[in-house]
Amino acid sequence: MLSVERLEAGYGESVILRDVSIRVEPGQVVCLMGRNGVGKSTLVKSIMGLLKTKRGSVSFKGDDLARRAPGQRARRGIGYVPQGREIFAQLTVRENLRIGLEASRDRKRRQAKEIPAEALAKFPALKEMYERRGGDLSGGQQQQLAFARALAAEPELLLLDEPTEGIQPSIVQDIEDVIRSIRDEGRTSILLVEQSLEFVRSVGDRFYIMEKGAIVWEGVREELDDPMVMRYLTV
C-alpha cells in the first residue's frame, strides 16, 4: 500500500530524516513511535507532499508520488489528520466535512457534496453539532471532526499524526474504537504516529521507532518489550 525507501528530507539546509524506509501493507495499522523531535511528523508531511524530499522515494500502490502535489496525493486515496487538527474554526461542522469531500476520488460525490454515511457513523456525536462552528468545539470534538473530515473522502491509506494528544480519555477511547473498526473492515490502511504505548499496543499490527531522524527498530507487538521501550521511548 505504502512504500517509503531511503527517504531524506528536512527544512531548508537542515536535514531531519536520514535514510528512512518503512512499509504499510493493505489493511494494516502501522505505528510510528519515538520521543519528541525525532522526525515523526516530518515523515508524515513528506509522505503527504507537504514537505519536499531531498532523496529517496514514496510510493502508493506502486505509484511514485515524487511529482504529485498534496491535493493529487489526497485524490489518489491518502487521507491526513494532522497534529493539532487544523479544522476550519469559522466554518460549521457540516462545512468542514464537505471540505473533506474535495479529496474524494468520486467526482459525483464531490459535486453533490454528499458526506458518506460511514464517515458519520464512526463519530455519531457530530450529527448533533452540524451547525456549530468548528472553533466552538472542544479539543476532543475537533479531533473527531478532523478524523471524520479525512474519512469523508473514503481514503485507502490514512495518516494519523498524534490523534490522542491533549484530549479527554473518553474521546481517546472513541478514537481507539474507530481505528480498530477500520482495521477490522480491512479496506483502509493506517500509519499512526502516537506517543502512548498503551494505545499503540491496543491497535497496532507493526511498529517502527525513530531516533534522530532515522528508523532504529521495527517489529511486531510481541517484540516491543520493556528493554526496547526503556532504550528508545522513555524520557
pTM higher than 0.85:
yes
Grid look-up 448533533 returns 128
Residue 189: its pLDDT value, please?
96
Q: What is the mean pLDDT of residues 230-235?
A: 74
- The mean of the pLDDT values for the chain is 88
Q: Which long-range contacts (CB under 8 A, 24 or more apart) does 170-179 make?
A: 170/140, 171/140, 171/141, 171/143, 171/144, 172/199, 174/123, 174/144, 175/143, 175/144, 175/147, 176/202, 176/203, 178/122, 178/123, 178/147, 179/29, 179/203
Q: Closest Cα to residue 85, out of 158, 29, 139, 122?
A: 139
Could you tell me what percent of the chain has a pLDDT over 90? 50
Please tell me which residue, 228 or 142, carries the higher pLDDT value.
142
pLDDT at residue 108 is higher than 80: no
Decide if 165 contacts 83 (C-beta within 8 A). yes
Could you tell me what percent of the chain has a pLDDT over 70? 97
pLDDT at residue 232 is higher than 80: no
With 0-12 CB in 10 A as exposed, 13-18 as middle and 19+ as buried, what is 206?
middle
Q: What is the mean pLDDT of residues 112-132?
A: 83
Residue 6: its pLDDT value, please?
95
- What's the pLDDT tens digit per position in 144-172? 999 999 998 889 999 999 998 888 888 89
For residue 110, what pLDDT band results from cuts at 50, 70 and 90? low
For residue 85, what pLDDT band results from cuts at 50, 70 and 90? confident
Q: Which cell goes with 62?
A: 506502486
Q: Other CB atoms closer than 10 Å to residue 217's CB: what's the count? A: 17
Residue 91: its pLDDT value, please?
93
Q: Closest Cα to residue 45, out of 96, 83, 93?
A: 83
pLDDT at residue 114 is higher than 80: no
User: Domains in the chain, start-ordered, CATH in brackets?
Assistant: 2-86+157-232 (3.40.50.300)
> CA-CA distance, 207 to 79, in Å (whole number)?
20
Residue 196: its pLDDT value, please?
85
Grid look-up 489526497 returns 74
pLDDT at residue 122 is higher than 80: yes
